[in-house]
Amino acid sequence: MISILNCGYESRHQKPFDMLRPGGSSDYTLLVIKSSAFCEYRQTYMDLSANTVILYDKKSYVHYGCLTSDYNDDWIHFDIEDKDLPFLYELNIPFQTPIHLADAGQLSEYSRLIVMENHSSHTYKNQILDALMRSLLCTLASQILEKPDKAVSHKYYGLMNDLRVSILNAPHRKWTIETMAQSVHMSPSYFQHLYKELFQTTCMQDVISARLKNACFYLRTTEMSIQSLGGFCGYDSEFHFMRQFKKYKNMTPSQYRSHYRNSSP
């Protein structure tokens, strides 16, 4: 199990500071740096930018800080049982090495959840913290392995991706190009162009695809009528739902339900 010993989220420093631990720490330390900073790496000082992550091994030399008053980071001190060490080492996250990511937002969100849970008194607090920390480390390892994505570095990527997650999470809502563009404070034409550029699909194609994927799930797992299902998935018209579904699956919703059930063991 991974144990959280201490942690902080959005830790802002009002004055320049210099964190120095010549003998390191008795635990592992993960930093998610969210502003300009510096660190000492292999006896050389390096300037760091936002979205830099450093994982320090136990008892390793630690030296980082900021020369200005606007430093911000998330930090987690954790330990891991010997029997679970293979999990950490198999991720191949380099220790004591500044790693610049295109976007550390997902890691920071895990940090926020870890801090919240660490201050809770839930019955399964330790198990939840273990799962969250494993998820954070796996996400970091995945981002290190992924090829750099130019889209992620776009200044509007975070804003647009948040909107896309909302679309895919709730496709039944009455999404229109105008309301989506307004939610990110863009003109409809620029919004559509940027959405296609970032995600290689249109916003309405995402809406339709997500609605139909949900429809397939509920056709397989419920007895909901076709008419009710269409409305549940965001369609005002049963005919519109039937037409889009047949185009998507090359069969009607009723045929899909029968086909799935007849082919299931």
- The confidence band for 55, taking pLDDT boundaries of 50, 70 and 90, is very high
Nearest to 231 by CA among 146, 153, 174, 188: 174
In the sheet with 44-48, reading across from the earlier edge strand, the strands are: 17-21, 62-66, 37-41, 44-48
pLDDT in tens, 146-195: 766 666 777 888 889 889 989 999 999 999 999 999 999 999 999 999 99
pLDDT of residue 147: 62
What average pLDDT does this structure show over 237-254?
A: 93
pLDDT of residue 175: 95
Across-strand partners of 78? 4, 28
In angstroms, the CA 246 to CA 262 distance is: 19
What average pLDDT does this structure show over 205-223?
A: 94
Name the average pLDDT for the chain: 92
- Strand 62-66 with 37-41, pairing: antiparallel
**CB 236: neighbour CB atoms within 10 A?**
10
pLDDT in tens, 95-104: 999 998 877 8
Sequence ranges of the domains in the chain: 2-148, 149-265
Query: Model pTM?
Result: 0.71
pLDDT of residue 265: 60
Please, are residues 96 and 41 in contact by the beta-carbon 8 Å criterion? yes
Biggest CA pair distance of the chain: 70
What average pLDDT does this structure show over 133-139?
A: 97
**Residue 249 confidence (pLDDT) above 80:** yes
Is CATH 1.10.10.60 the classification given to domain 149-265? yes
CATH code of 2-148, in short, is 2.60.120.280
